């Protein structure tokens, strides 16, 4: 595994404990790294409204802090990107849980309107948060 320290650390622990025979281990890309490399998000969070433009740095900090908390519990839940759009910010994630957690963190910290739309057939969640 080239870049994924999350999985490498888990593999190292499992090897140290005798749970995995490292001589039989194959190199693979973890699902989160693959989603990042291919830019195929499982979650999208759209932040919209005048408040977003006025507080973009603060909101990005909340998104990154939320990622760190989620990643400590679920290492495959990561940010793919935070990008500016004409009417706000767009956040993409490798998993559903992180996108949901970001949406709920935005609502808890700043109120606003939160909408969550699931597509279970494609393992995808689309979240819209707005505050004017």
Domain identity same for 17 and 62:
no
Q: What is the dihedral of CA 77, 81, 82, 83, to 10 degrees?
A: -160
Domain identity same for 11 and 57:
no
Domain identity same for 16 and 78:
no
Q: For the chain, how many structural domains are there in total?
A: 2
Q: What is the pLDDT of residues 29-71, one digit of tens each?
A: 899 999 999 999 999 999 999 999 999 999 999 999 999 999 9
Number of neighbours of residue 14 by Cβ within 10 angstroms? 14
Domain identity same for 105 and 44:
yes
- Residue 23's pLDDT band (boundaries 50, 70, 90)? low
Q: Which residue range is the domain that position 114 belongs to?
A: 39-130
Domain identity same for 15 and 80:
no
- Residue 13's pLDDT band (boundaries 50, 70, 90)? very low
Q: What is the pLDDT of residue 16?
A: 53
CA proximity to 26, closest of 45, 7, 43? 7
Q: List residues bridging with 130 in a β-sheet.
A: 48, 113
Domain identity same for 82 and 125:
yes
The helix (H) or strand (E) run that includes residue 13 is helix 5-16
Secondary structure (3-state) at 49: coil
């Amino acid at each position: 595994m080239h870049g994924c320290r999350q999985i490498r650390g888990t593999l190292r622990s499992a090897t140290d404990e005798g749970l995995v025979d490292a001589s039989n281990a194959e190199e693979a890309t973890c699902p989160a790294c693959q989603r990042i490399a291919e830019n195929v998000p499982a979650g999208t969070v759209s932040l919209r409204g005048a408040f977003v433009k006025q507080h973009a740095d603060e909101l990005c900090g909340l998104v990154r802090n939320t990622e760190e908390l989620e990643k400590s519990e679920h290492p495959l839940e990561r940010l793919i990107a935070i990008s500016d759009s004409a009417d706000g910010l767009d956040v993409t994630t490798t998993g559903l849980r992180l996108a949901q957690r970001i949406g709920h963190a935005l609502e808890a910290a700043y109120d606003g309107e939160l909408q969550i739309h699931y597509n279970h057939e494609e393992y995808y969640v689309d979240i819209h948060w707005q505050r004017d």
